[in-house]
Amino acid sequence: MKQWLLKKWSSRNWLTILLLPVSLLYRFVILKKRSAFLTNPPIKHPIPIVIVGNIYVGGTGKTPIVVHIVNLLKKRGYNPAVISRGYGVKVDIPKEVGNGSSTKQVGDEPMLIYNNCNVPIVVGPDRNASVEYILQKCDCDIIISDDGLQHYALNRDIEIVVFDGQKGLGNGFLLPAGPLREPFDRINRADFTLINGNSSYLKGTSFFLEIEHAVNMVCGETVDLKQFSIKAGIGKVHAVAGIGNPERFFAQLEQFGLEVIRHEYDDHYPYSEHNLDFVDGYPVVMTEKDAVKCMKFAKDDWWMIPASVRFSGDFESQFLAKVKQVS
């Protein structure tokens, strides 16, 4: 998503007001789809389907949530699998992610999930077809859908809606006048609302993406971020972020005493070696989502910064209880 458009959507201005009539038409279409889903729901699959999605266009932190709950389910004895559209990927039939997959083939988020979870992951435009693929070929007892809240052809047992606390609802308008895919009251029908960071008006369970160490993208060495400036020999770094909220990542790095040279790219940006050819000798650090697209041409002083999820409330036990209920 173009950062300039997201900035336009953060307020009500002449462009967003001009687009309001189109948003009213969009509202009619999306509510009609939702009504059809409720009155005539699609076929129910034999194992639970969990949707992790959003109503705000662009990144809100849902992929780290997918990674977290997949690993949580594994620890509790479940055998989860993941389905995803695969952003920007041209596939007509379900395609399983494997060791030989690339981000160009399956997308950056499915590749990130695969690297962190080691579970079956299938990408494709038809999520029901991806579910059927998993049912036929994989030994799984629950499926997590990375995004797909508005994919009403897919039945679901649990819905998790993820917001970015800093972005909130933007200007509150539906597409294309604003960033919302559905009206805000849609969350009343979801099972869980999760908020990335704090919010003064969004209601739900807050979570925080925490960073603690850097991983060298060539040799795999791990360094605590508190010691990174000493290890690198200098406190200045090139920070690369093509995610939904790059500024949050930059600010986190600065909390560790690093002097950050910001390089903000669009979400899902397709990097090449030339994009990151900085000539001043400072180390390059990037998010894990960016790193999966840059591994093949990484240099010795490039570092990946993984993030882990910490919840402020008791989401995990509530989620597991809900899974047990629908299983």
d(CA 78, CA 63): 19
d(CA 150, CA 54): 9
pTM value? 0.95
Band of residue 235 on the pLDDT scale cut at 50, 70, 90: confident
pLDDT surpassing 60 at residue 1: no
| Pair of tokens at residue 267 | 């979400």
Task: Give the pLDDT confidence score for residue 5 in this predicted structure.
Answer: 78
Region 229-251: what's the mean pLDDT? 87
Band of residue 158 on the pLDDT scale cut at 50, 70, 90: very high
Compute the mean pLDDT over every residue in the chain, rounded to the nearest whole number: 94
Give which of 138, 51, 125, 131 is closest to 98, Cα–Cα: 138
Region 79-107: what's the mean pLDDT? 94
Region 137-152: what's the mean pLDDT? 96
Band of residue 176 on the pLDDT scale cut at 50, 70, 90: very high
Task: Give the pLDDT confidence score for residue 6 in this predicted structure.
Answer: 77
pLDDT surpassing 60 at residue 129: yes
Share of the chain above pLDDT 90, in %: 85
Band of residue 281 on the pLDDT scale cut at 50, 70, 90: confident
Neighbours of 26 (CB within 10 A): 19
d(CA 146, CA 10): 25
d(CA 247, CA 10): 15
d(CA 178, CA 15): 10
Task: Give the pLDDT confidence score for residue 313 in this predicted structure.
Answer: 86
CATH topology of domain 3-208+310-326: Rossmann fold (3.40.50)
Tens-place pLDDT, residues 28-76:
999 999 999 999 999 899 999 999 999 999 889 999 999 999 999 999 9
Phi/psi for 250 (5° steps) reads: -60, -45
Higher pLDDT, 268 or 287: 287
> Where along the chain do its domains lie?
3-208+310-326, 212-306
**DSSP H helices in the chain:** 3-8, 14-18, 20-39, 62-75, 103-106, 108-117, 127-137, 228-232, 246-254, 288-291, 315-326
In the β-sheet with 80-84, what is the strand arrangement from edge to edge? Answer: 95-96, 121-123, 80-84, 142-146, 49-53, 158-164, 192-196, 205-210, 308-311
pLDDT surpassing 70 at residue 83: yes
The residue written with tokens 């807050």 in the block is: 206
d(CA 188, CA 140): 30
Task: Give the pLDDT confidence score for residue 314 in this predicted structure.
Answer: 94
Task: Give the pLDDT confidence score for residue 136 in this predicted structure.
Answer: 97
The residue type found at 145 is S
SS3 197: coil
pLDDT surpassing 90 at residue 228: no
